[in-house]
Amino acid sequence: MGKKGKNKRKLLIFIALAALAALAYIGYTLGYKYYSVKISTVQLDETAYIYITPQDSAASVIKKIEEAAPAAKTDGFAALAQHNKYDSRKRSGKYAIKDGDTMSDIYNRIVSRQQTPVRVTIPATRDVQQAIGIISRQIMADSAQLAEYTHPIAMSCFGYDKANIPAFFLPDTYEVYWDITAEDFFEKMAGWNRKYWNEERKAKAKAAGLTPLQVATLASIVDEETANTAEMPTVAGLYINRLKRGMPLQADPTVKFALGDPTRQRILKKDLEVNSPYNTYKHTGLPPGPIRIPSKQAIESVLNHSKHNYLYMCAKEDFSGTHNFAKTLSEHNANAKRYQNALNKLNIKK
């Protein structure tokens, strides 16, 4: 072999050795980085959770992991995120970090969207926007995004008009994914509503002479009349008796709603003249829609109302939150006089 050939061979050997050295270095580096991916585990007393938004980068996700599990070694997560280009396909949602998890477990859970559902409670509030605010604190969608879907035009897609929007909200606790969109959340609510109003409940509403929307309207009045769930079926039965007889409901909560003051304790004679379709002293039948988001207990109380002959009710003079019920006007007037005297004694004027 000539000198030229020997030099070429030496060059090839040098290149091969350099390549092996580079591979060894890369292997060592990757081995070190992936040690915490495959072997190093998170140690927690109980499962922790992180909430990831679409705006979160790999770096901000790592920060959230470190806050949830302070002793965690996250360099393995960083290596996986860099290798797999996490920032080019971000994920959102609520994710668990469990005792014994490796960074590989956590990373794969996030990128494969193995979310932990959240339990969202829809409240029975006096105001729809107040309910929206409470819901927005439980999911990723903010109150402005949710409020868009309470517009009458949006609600008309679900069969609701401006007056009966509160009936769309069915208070209960439901499971959803934290990153559900506002649109999908309202679709879910529509589904929960349809499921609730099954044939059995529709039949009960019909037997009472009501539609499901009218049940919700009457239930909203029952909610405002009493916080005592035990007497709700009695209150509901009383109003159904009045409806069947064509008598005005004469429900004070509807007058308070018409006045825009649901917290007042005393209704004055002049208040009964307020010009509003919600004034059930001036108008017979039910008002145009619910005066609040009705509770499920009140709805069930209307559907399963007590059968009795009561036509009148008045708050008890002991301010217990319960009522005296009466079958005749003279009996009712006596009950009302005792309550008015109790208000006068405490100097409650409204």
Q: Which of 153, 167, 130 is nearest to 288 (CA)?
A: 167
Q: Is the pLDDT of residue 349 over 80?
A: no
d(CA 119, CA 192): 14
Question: pLDDT category, 319, cuts 50, 70, 90?
Answer: confident
Per residue in 78-98, pLDDT (tens digit) is 999 998 999 988 889 999 999
Per residue in 200-216, pLDDT (tens digit) is 999 999 999 999 999 99
d(CA 232, CA 317): 19
Fold of 36-116: Dna Ligase; domain 1 (3.30.1490)
Backbone angles phi, psi at 264, to 5 degrees: -65, 150
Per residue in 218-230, pLDDT (tens digit) is 999 999 999 899 9
* Dihedral (CA of 98, 100, 102, 108) sign: negative
Find the helix or strand (DSSP H, E) in which 16 lies: helix 3-38
Q: What are the DSSP E strand ranges found in the chain?
A: 48-52, 93-97, 118-122, 172-176, 312-315, 323-326
Per residue in 149-176, pLDDT (tens digit) is 999 999 999 999 999 999 999 999 999 9
Per residue in 236-292, pLDDT (tens digit) is 999 999 999 999 999 999 999 999 988 887 788 899 999 999 999 999 999 999 999
What mean pLDDT value characterizes the chain?
89
Q: Per mean pLDDT, which range of 18-22, 178-182, 217-221, 292-296 is the poorest?
A: 18-22
Q: Are 254 and 279 in contact (CB under 8 A)?
A: yes
pTM for this prediction: 0.83
What is residue 263's predicted lDDT score, i.e. its pLDDT?
Answer: 84
Average pLDDT over residues 313-318: 86
Average pLDDT over residues 111-128: 96
Q: What are the DSSP E strand ranges found in 185-315?
A: 312-315
**Domain range annotation of the chain:** 36-116, 118-196, 199-345
d(CA 122, CA 134): 8
Q: Per mean pLDDT, which range of 2-16, 135-149, 251-265 is the poorest?
A: 2-16
Find the angle CA(272)-CA(275)-CA(280) to the nearest 5 degrees. 55
What is residue 14's predicted lDDT score, i.e. its pLDDT?
Answer: 55
Question: pLDDT category, 340, cuts 50, 70, 90?
Answer: confident
Q: What are the DSSP E strand ranges found in 198-293?
A: none
Q: Per mean pLDDT, which range of 43-52, 146-155, 243-252, 309-318 is the poorest?
A: 309-318
What is residue 32's predicted lDDT score, i.e. its pLDDT?
Answer: 47
